[in-house]
């Protein structure tokens, strides 16, 4: 196993921006020896057909993510606040018709 550890290049997560003004999206991951190599590989693997105009590569082990186990308690502060949505509020009928 330790031998395998050394054999594999580090893992990187790839994000690309599909178009000007759009947010970056996760494309997938790849192995690369360093950041520059990761960027070039990302272009060849994930952007062969002009899928993006910009690429980010991030070392996978640098990402901190929420875990499925605490999904409920982590997100539930948002689940009892319907007043954060416009549907919570009523509007005079006359105005509603016009819109």
Partner 1 sequence: METQQQLDDFQARIDAGEKIEPKDWMPERYREQIIRMGSQHAHSEIVGMLPEGNWISRAPSLKRKLVLLAKVQDEAGHGLYLYSAIETLGVRRSELIDQYLYGSAKYSSIFNYPTLSYADVCVIGWLVDGAAIVNQTKLAHSSYGPYARANLRICKEESFHKKQGYEMVAKLAEGTPAQRKMVQSAVDRFWWPTLMMFGPNDSNSPNSAELLKWQVKLNTNDELRQHFVDRVVMEAEAVGLTLPDPDLKFNEETGHWEFGEIPWDEFWDVVKGNGVMNRERIKSRRKAHEDGAWVREAAQAYARKKNLSREKAS
Q: Give the footprint of partner 1 on this chain (CB under 8 A).
A: 1, 4-5, 7-9, 11, 28-31, 33-34, 37, 44-46, 48-49, 65, 67-68
Q: Which residues of 67-88 are buried (b: 16+ CB within 10 A; e: fewer)?
A: eeeeeeeeeeeeeeeeeeeeee
Of 64 and 87, CB closest to partner 1:
64
Distance CA 30, CA 44 (A): 11
Of 28 and 54, CB closest to partner 1:
28
Distance CA 9, CA 82 (A): 47
Minimum CB–partner distance for residue 11 and partner 1 (Å): 7
Minimum CB–partner distance for residue 68 and partner 1 (Å): 5
């Amino acid at each position: 196993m330790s031998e395998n550890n050394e054999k594999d290049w580090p893992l990187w997560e790839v994000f690309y921006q599909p178009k000007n003004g759009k947010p970056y999206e996760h494309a997938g991951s790849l192995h690369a020896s360093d950041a520059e190599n990761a960027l070039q590989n990302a272009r060849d693997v994930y952007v062969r057909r002009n899928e993006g105009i910009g690429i980010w590569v991030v070392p996978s082990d640098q990402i901190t993510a929420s875990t499925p186990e605490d999904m409920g308690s982590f997100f539930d502060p948002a689940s009892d606040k319907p007043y954060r949505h416009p549907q919570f509020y009523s509007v005079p009928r006359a105005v509603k018709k016009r819109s």
